[in-house]
């Protein structure tokens, strides 16, 4: 939130850093982890959580892993029997993301206020060029749906892994560029602000926590990818400039000089993401 | 240096003397929109955009339109220059139509209610789940009685699909919305000359009597007739006289605006007729040849309808009536147009009939510049067609209203509440009676919330209107830009067939109506053993359309549906001249309309096997096909006897006056000095219910202060912007005043289409109430700079049913208007169900079975009473 504003206020692009290159194995490990997180988060938002998805999420191991990342669901998620939880989340999902008066997790809607605008068609074309088509799950979702965008990133990360596995570093770098471009042109432009809206509006801890998790993941990804992108979603909290407290010297480049383990301090309340240390 | 002195006087003098030279000077500029019509380019890349012809369906004029599509989305809507009626022009509503499709509040998936009705709690379900659930309910209802399945539709342009569905189920409980629309206009006209509407030839007329229509803004057929009325004014120097309670934009465009007391247009029309007949200005030959009365009969009948009589009732001076009558009768050709003004009253059918008598008695029927029959085209239904219901439905054909061929839908809640007919499953399509009907939330809202009266409500809708919000299950329909529909509308003198076609795939999982109904029937009858599936055997919606259009003579040779897909309309009569805006033939002349349809002579083949009775009616196979006059066999008018029935004998069977007449509304006669009449009207950018969610239109007009005359306002101590309390016998509201000279002093007028409490965040302005829940975070909604959504008056308007036409008397409500009190606040609306029930019981007294019927018709003293009439099933359709 505050960090967003500060990031938004910085005019110059971040110069490329000169880190020591991580090993292919380290890169592979990180790609796998990031793809998994994208899929996990897509699973929360792309459609109503299924019994199986929730069962996995509520397993002690997963809850422990998520807790390590600061994700702590409330009793409304942990206590009800499985069927009741599926039903409750389906209703909450519909109220927030489907029914009239809600706020669909769709990029066109978030950035233009209308379905089927430029992001939708840009993404459809992008998926086509990348060899993907959006197929129907339980429901037919739009191409610029949050869940689909996250799944696309996951697919690209899978391709990165494949490139690394065959020793194709040039291919890996090309896919990495595509991922950065995708975040820059799409997810990063709306997902953080949107997650704040979900956190404010949801009456269920599952969506509040998953939105908080997603926002933090997005922040972390952007920092890790050395991207500085304004979040244009109107769900971002508006903080008057007079209330903005500068926690560091804004003239000092944030990322270009920092090496492994030398990242800028997390803003208060931010969630650390469980990625392997020292891989960047 | 020149010594010429240029003064303003010199300028004007020079201008007057050089008109001819100015006219001869080259004109290099012309309207770009016409020049570019039919094509559009991206302003940056200059790449031509894909143009898909459709028929607009924001309102019901059915303008020819083109959707310009770029990268899969509609970026612009424009008129179709090949469309003969609308000639490349589209109104503000039509230009905004894409925002239905892209509205973020649109419903894209089947939704099942999970909270109490109206609580707003939903769960998304799959189509399979939704269809299975609805099929289960239908199955149970079918076992009990197919008529317990009800379909109520509003704007139904499916081309017969809803009817097919209900016939497939065997239910006769099909109810439309026409009684809140213009049904008494239709019933005033249909038994008289056949069709339910007229086509005034405005472009070629010399004189227009415009009675209670605001054709430049609304009414049938706003866009095409606005063009023609403007042409008549500019090219033909016609005179237009408007009778209206309000100075509408059409009244302002007129040569004369004559304010008239609500509901008295019929009296004025009769008095105009009286003067014409008294002064022998009628067209005797036409009357004697083409009507079922003689001039002498007519003169005798009109004798008592004097201008002085009408003046006392209407407030229109007798001298004005005398003058207008002479002007109208002597200006040849002359025409007339009416809409809700005369028709939306207790005896609206009589009013309409009295009005249409003016062009009839002056012989301005089917003449160039006159009052013409509508021109439309039909299309066949795909076969086989289902047989239909085995027995009649009370709600669909109420026995107390045997002449109301367009039903009496606004009384349905009371009949259901009284147990006249049980309903198990209620389907609603493109309807929003909870908002649009008299009583609104106080009547229909109560019905819809009552699970005993309506156990299961299925809404087929793309938007969460006031009615859909109270449904049990929502099946997401497609907005008009995403569906196939056959179309033809008699909105000019040239008949046409057209289509709507999807300009892109439907969003989400919305399904167009014919597809979702097919899927529902297939769910009910998966193996065809119930005999239902056979009526729904089509591959997709386009296949269904092919069955409509591929065998229409003429169109078939042109290419059938493929022609329509390319052009949107058939036939193409000529080319739109960008300079004149008219459709021209190869020589550059405007294409000619065909007049005198009733004088078309029957051919030898037509006459083969036909018989002619002593009155000249030519019949074949038991059906009248023409009329013999002066030795010639004419087609005549599309009535049972091929004549214009000035005397409608069927009306007399039920104790109604068969001749043109007028009945004053009893409660208007007893109004107190401080009482007024509440009327409603439409603005040019809105229709009744479904436009408040359209972004561009909502920004143009979003509130509706009540029009009050300056004299009245002075008496009340009210100025523009002050709050007023408007109280009727069924409720009250509090709104803002707009003080103007442009309204009859005894009238308060409130525009409809505002004051929504559902229909998405824009219409309801709920974004202002709950900013934490998504509203203000929408980038478009964040631009909403207004905080006044207006006040919807329908909850305080009691039901009134025309005992003949069945129409709602929208303009009959007596109200008391006062300055708002300390406890009143803007937007307060209260309607009382019990009081609405009393109003219902009161209006039933005027039905032919009611005790007031005889009192209102002393001239029908010889009528033997309701028991003398054989019960009529199937309503009074003509």
* Sequence ranges of the domains in chain A: 2-243
Residues of chain A in Cβ contact (below 8 Å) with chain B: 48, 87, 90-91, 93-96, 98-104, 106, 108-118, 120-121, 124, 138-140, 142, 193, 197, 200-201, 233-235
What are the Cα distances from residue B207, in Å, to B202, B217, B335, B337, B579?
8, 20, 6, 11, 26
- In the numeric block, which tokens belong to residue B98? 């894409």
**Cβ contact B123–A101 (<8 Å):** no
**Location of structure tokens 């089509």:** B538
Q: Are residues B542 and B504 in the same domain?
A: yes
- pLDDT tens-digit readout, A128-177: 999 999 999 999 999 999 999 999 999 999 999 999 999 999 999 999 99
- Ranking A268-272, B622-626, B674-678, B862-866 by mean pLDDT, the lowest is A268-272
Residue B475 lies in a domain: yes
Q: What is the pLDDT of residue A109?
A: 94
Mutate to test the interface with A, among B100, B122, B477 (most CBs of A within 10 A): B122
Whether B678 maps to a domain, the answer reads yes
Nearest to residue B698, comparing CAs of B739, B759, B748?
Answer: B759
Edge to edge, the sheet with strand B50-55 lists B50-55, B64-70, B73-79
**Nearest C-alpha of chain B: how many angstroms from A168?**
35
User: Is residue B725 a part of any domain in this protein?
Assistant: yes
**Domain limits for position B738:** 666-844
Query: Do B578 and B684 belong to one domain?
Result: no
Residues 6+ apart with CB under 8 A from A263: A223, A255
Partners of B464 on chain A (C-beta within 8 Å) are: 99-101
- Confidence class for position A252, pLDDT limits 50, 70, 90: low
Q: What are the residue ranges of helices labelled H in B362-396?
A: none
CA distance A38 to B826: 50
Residues B123 and B209 in one domain: no
Q: Which residues of A touch B772 (CB under 8 A)?
A: 200-201
Percent of chain A with pLDDT over 70: 78
Do strands B731-740 and B829-831 pair parallel, antiparallel, or not at all (unpaired)?
antiparallel
Q: What is the pLDDT of residues B63-97, one digit of tens each?
A: 999 999 998 899 999 999 999 999 999 999 999 99
- Span A105-136, pLDDT tens digits: 999 999 999 999 999 999 999 999 999 999 99
Most distant CA pair in chain A, distance = 53
Nearest CA in chain B to A104: B104
Nearest to B351 by CA among B653, B578, B662: B662
**Of A239-243, B615-619, B670-674, minimum mean pLDDT range:** A239-243
Query: Which CATH architecture is the domain A2-243 placed in?
Result: Orthogonal Bundle (1.10)
* Cross-chain Cβ contact B773/A111 below 8 Å: no
Q: Name the DSSP class of B489.
A: -
Rounded Cα distance, B626 and B290, in Å: 12
Rounded-to-integer distance, Cα B830 and Cα B718, Å: 22
What span, in angstroms and rounded, lies between the C-alpha atoms of B387 and B158?
A: 19
Residues B119 and B268 in one domain: no
Q: Is the CB of B319 inside 8 Å of chain A's CB atoms?
A: no
Whichever domain contains B483, its CATH number is 3.40.50.740
Q: Would you call B772 and A109 a contact, using CB atoms and an 8 Å cutoff? A: no
Which residues in chain A have Cβ-Cβ distances shorter than 8 Å to B508? 139-140, 142
- Substitution target from B98, B123, B463, B781 for chain A, most A beta carbons within 10 A: B123
From the list B101, B124, B504, the residue facing A98 with the nearest CB is B124
Residue A265, pLDDT > 50, answer no
Let me know whether B362 and B474 are in one domain: no
Q: pLDDT tens across B518-532, in order?
A: 999 999 999 999 999
Q: Per the CB < 8 Å rule, is A201 touching B772?
A: yes
Least CB–CB distance from A234: residue in B122, B507, B779: B779
pLDDT tens string B255-286: 999 999 999 999 999 999 999 999 999 999 99
Assign B359 a pLDDT band (cuts: 50, 70, 90): very high
Tell me: pLDDT of A262 over 50. no
Q: Using CA atoms, how far apart are residues B97 and B380, in angstroms rounded to an integer? A: 29
What pLDDT does A260 receive? 42
A101, A138, A200, A236, best to mutate vs chain B, most B CBs in 10 Å:
A101
Identify the helix (H) or strand (E) that includes residue B500: strand B497-500
In a domain? residue B7: no
Give chain A positions within 8 Å (CB) of B108. 98
* Chain B hits for A193, Cβ within 8 Å: 777
Residues B92 and B53 in one domain: yes
Question: Do B326 and B456 have their domain in common?
Answer: no
Verify that B149 and B296 share a domain, yes or no.
no
CA distances from B669 to B262, B663, B677 (A): 12, 11, 12
Shared domain for B136 and B205, answered yes or no, is no
How close is the nearest chain A Cα to the Cα of B105, in Å? 4
Task: Categorize the per-residue pLDDT at A5 as very low, low, confident or very high, splitting at 50, 70 and 90.
Answer: very low
Enumerate the residues of chain A whose CB falls inside 8 A of the CB of residue B101.
115-116
Check: CB of residue B351 under 8 Å from CB of residue B266.
yes
How close is the nearest chain A Cα to the Cα of B462, in Å?
10
Q: Tens digit of pLDDT for each residue in B15-58?
A: 666 766 766 777 666 555 556 678 899 989 999 999 999 999 99
Query: Do B134 and B44 have their domain in common?
Result: yes
Confidence of residue B10 (pLDDT cuts 50, 70, 90): low
pLDDT at B477: 97
Shared domain check, B573 and B439: yes
**pLDDT > 90 fraction of chain A, expressed in percent and rounded:** 73
Give B426-459 pLDDT, tens digit per residue.
999 999 999 999 999 999 999 999 999 999 999 9
Is B772's CB within 8 Å of A200's CB? Answer: yes
- Are residues B234 and B139 both part of a single domain? no
Query: Which of B 532-551 lie inside 8 A of A, CB atoms?
Result: none
Partner A, chain B 69-128, Cβ-Cβ below 8 Å? 71-73, 99, 101-109, 111, 114, 120-124, 126
**What pLDDT band is residue B779 in, cutting at 50, 70 and 90?**
confident
d(Cα B73, Cα B102) in Å, to the nearest integer?
9
B508 touches chain A (CB under 8 A): yes
Residues 735-764, chain B, touching A (beta carbon < 8 A): 760-761
Q: Kindly determine whether residue B126 and residue A235, on different chains, have CB atoms separated by under 8 Å.
A: no
Report the chain B residue with the minimal C-alpha distance to residue A143: B508
DSSP of B825-852, one letter per residue?
A: -TT-EEE-HHHHHHHHHHHHTTSTTSHH
Identify the bridge partners of residue B818 per DSSP, sorted by sequence position: B725
- Tens digits of residue pLDDT in A38-59: 999 999 999 999 999 999 999 9
CATH number at residue B207: 3.40.228.10
Mean pLDDT estimate for chain B: 94
Please indicate whether, in this complex, the C-beta atoms of A234 and B778 are within 8 angstroms of each other.
yes
Q: Considering CB atoms only, which of A115, A121, A201 is closest to B71? A: A121
> B857, B863, B859, B808: which is closest to B836 by C-alpha?
B808
Nearest to B59 by CA among B282, B219, B278: B219
State the DSSP code for B107.
-
Residues of B in Cβ contact (< 8 Å) with A114: 99, 102-104, 780
SS3 category, B325: helix
pLDDT of A92: 96
Confidence grade of residue B871 (pLDDT, cut at 50, 70, 90): low
* Cβ <8 Å between A113 and B779: yes
Which residue has 């033809």 as its token pair? B488
Mean pLDDT over the full length of chain A:
83
* Number of domains chain B contains: 3
Interface test with B, best of A100, A114, A193 (most B CBs within 10 A): A100
């Amino acid at each position: 939130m505050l960090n967003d504003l500060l990031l938004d206020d910085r005019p110059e692009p971040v110069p490329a850093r000169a880190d020591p290159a991580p090993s292919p194995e380290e890169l592979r490990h990180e790609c796998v982890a990031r793809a998994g997180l994208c899929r996990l988060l897509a699973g929360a938002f792309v459609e109503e959580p299924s019994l199986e998805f929730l069962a996995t999420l509520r397993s002690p191991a997963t809850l422990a892993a998520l807790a390590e990342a600061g994700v702590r669901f409330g009793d409304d998620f942990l206590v009800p029997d499985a069927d009741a939880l599926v039903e409750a989340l389906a209703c909450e999902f519909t109220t927030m993301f489907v029914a009239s008066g809600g706020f669909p997790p769709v990029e066109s809607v978030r950035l233009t206020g209308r379905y089927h605008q430029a992001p939708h068609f840009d993404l459809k074309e992008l998926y086509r060029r990348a060899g993907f088509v959006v197929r129907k799950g339980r429901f037919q979702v739009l191409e610029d749906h949050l869940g689909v965008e996250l799944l696309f990133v996951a697919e690209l990360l899978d391709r990165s892994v494949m490139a690394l596995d065959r020793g194709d570093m040039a291919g890996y770098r090309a896919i990495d560029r595509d991922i950065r471009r995708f975040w820059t042109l799409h997810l990063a432009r709306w997902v953080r602000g949107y997650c704040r809206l979900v956190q404010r509006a949801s009456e269920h801890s599952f969506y509040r926590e998953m939105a908080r998790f997603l926002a933090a993941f997005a922040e972390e990804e952007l920092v890790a990818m050395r991207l500085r992108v304004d979040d244009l979603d109107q769900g971002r909290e508006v903080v008057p400039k007079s209330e903005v407290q500068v926690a560091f010297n804004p003239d000092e480049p944030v990322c270009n000089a920092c090496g492994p383990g030398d990242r800028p301090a997390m803003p208060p309340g931010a969630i650390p993401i469980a990625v392997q240390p020292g891989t960047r | 240096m020149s010594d010429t002195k240029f003064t303003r006087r010199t300028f004007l003098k020079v201008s007057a003397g050089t008109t001819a030279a100015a006219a001869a000077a080259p004109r290099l500029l012309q309207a770009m929109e016409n020049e570019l019509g039919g094509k559009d380019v991206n302003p940056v890349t200059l790449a031509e955009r894909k143009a898909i012809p459709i028929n607009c369906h924001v309102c019901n004029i059915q303008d020819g339109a083109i959707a310009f599509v770029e990268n899969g989305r509609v970026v612009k809507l424009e008129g179709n220059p090949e469309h003969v009626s609308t000639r490349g022009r589209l109104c503000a509503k039509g230009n905004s139509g894409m925002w239905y499709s892209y509205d973020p509040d649109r419903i894209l998936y089947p939704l099942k209610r999970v909270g109490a009705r109206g609580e707003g709690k939903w769960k998304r379900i799959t189509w399979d789940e939704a269809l299975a659930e609805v099929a289960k309910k239908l199955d149970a209802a079918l076992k009990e009685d197919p008529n317990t399945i009800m379909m109520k539709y509003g704007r139904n342009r499916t081309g017969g699909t809803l009817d097919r569905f209900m016939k497939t189920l065997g239910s006769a409980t099909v109810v439309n919305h026409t009684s809140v629309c213009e049904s008494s206009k239709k019933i005033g006209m249909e038994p008289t000359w056949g069709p339910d509407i007229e086509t005034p030839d405005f472009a070629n007329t010399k004189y227009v009597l415009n009675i209670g229509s605001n054709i430049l803004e609304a009414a049938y057929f706003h866009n095409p007739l606005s063009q023609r009325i403007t042409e008549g004014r500019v090219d033909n120097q016609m005179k237009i006289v408007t009778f209206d309670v309000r100075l509408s934009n059409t009244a302002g465009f007129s040569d004369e605006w004559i304010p008239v007391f609500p509901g008295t247009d019929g009296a004025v029309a009769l008095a105009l007729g009286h003067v014409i007949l008294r002064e022998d200005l009628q067209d005797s030959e036409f009357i004697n040849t083409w009507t079922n009365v003689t001039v002498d009969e007519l003169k005798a009948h009109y004798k008592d309808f004097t201008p002085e009589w009408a003046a006392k009732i209407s407030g229109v001076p007798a001298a004005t009536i005398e003058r207008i009558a002479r002007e109208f009768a002597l200006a040849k050709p002359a025409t007339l147009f009416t809409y809700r003004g005369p028709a939306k009253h207790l005896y609206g059918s009589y009013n309409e009939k009295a009005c249409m008598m003016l062009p009839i008695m002056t012989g301005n029927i089917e003449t160039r510049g006159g009052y013409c029959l509508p021109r439309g085209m039909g299309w066949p239904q795909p076969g086989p067609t289902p047989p239909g219901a085995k027995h009649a439905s009370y709600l669909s054909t109420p026995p107390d209203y045997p002449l109301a061929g367009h039903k009496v839908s606004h009384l349905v809640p009371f009949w259901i509440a009284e147990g006249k007919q049980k309903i198990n499953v209620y389907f609603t399509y493109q309807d929003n009676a909870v908002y649009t009907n008299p009583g609104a939330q106080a009547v229909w809202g109560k019905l819809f919330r009552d699970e005993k009266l309506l156990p299961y409500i299925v809404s087929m809708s793309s938007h969460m209107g006031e009615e859909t919000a109270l449904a049990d299950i929502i099946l997401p329909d497609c907005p008009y830009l995403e569906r196939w529909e056959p179309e033809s509308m008699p909105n000019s003198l040239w008949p046409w067939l057209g289509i709507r076609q999807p300009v892109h795939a439907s969003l989400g999982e919305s399904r167009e109506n014919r597809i979702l109904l097919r899927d529902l029937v297939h769910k009910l009858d998966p193996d065809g053993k119930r005999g239902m599936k056979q009526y729904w055997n089509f591959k997709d919606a386009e296949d269904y359309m092919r069955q409509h259009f591929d065998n229409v003579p003429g169109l078939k040779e042109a290419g059938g549906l493929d022609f329509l897909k390319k052009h949107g309309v058939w036939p193409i009569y000529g080319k739109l001249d960008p300079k004149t805006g008219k459709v021209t033939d190869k020589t550059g002349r405007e294409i000619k309309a065909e007049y005198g349809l009733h004088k078309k002579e029957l051919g030898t083949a037509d006459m083969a096997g036909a018989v002619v009775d002593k009155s000249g009616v030519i019949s074949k196979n038991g059906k009248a096909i023409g009329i013999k006059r002066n030795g010639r066999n004419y087609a005549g008018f599309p009535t049972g006897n091929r004549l214009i029935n000035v005397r409608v004998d069927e009306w007399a069977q039920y104790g109604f006056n068969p001749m043109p007449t007028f009945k004053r509304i009893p409660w208007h006669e007893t109004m107190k000095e401080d009482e007024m009449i509440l009327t409603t009207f439409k603005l040019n950018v809105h229709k009744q219910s479904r436009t408040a969610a359209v972004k561009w239109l909502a920004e143009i007009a979003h509130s509706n202060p009540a029009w009050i005359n300056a004299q009245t306002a002075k008496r009340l101590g009210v100025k523009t912007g002050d709050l007023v309390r408007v109280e009727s016998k069924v409720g009250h509201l509090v709104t803002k005043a707009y003080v103007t000279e442009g309204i009859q002093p005894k009238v308060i007028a409130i525009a409809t289409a505002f004051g929504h409490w559902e229909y998405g965040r824009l219409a309801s302005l709920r974004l202002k109430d709950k900013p934490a829940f998504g509203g203000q975070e929408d980038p478009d909604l964040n631009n909403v700079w207004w905080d006044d959504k207006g006040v919807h008056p329908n909850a305080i308007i009691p039901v009134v049913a025309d005992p003949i036409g069945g129409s709602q008397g929208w303009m009959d409500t007596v109200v008391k208007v006062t300055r708002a009190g300390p406890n009143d606040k803007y937007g307060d609306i209260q309607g009382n169900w019990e009081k609405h029930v009393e109003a219902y019981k009161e209006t039933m007294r005027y039905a032919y079975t009611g005790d007031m019927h005889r009192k209102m018709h002393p001239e029908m003293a010889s009528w033997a009473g309701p028991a003398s009439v054989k019960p009529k099933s199937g309503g009074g359709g003509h």
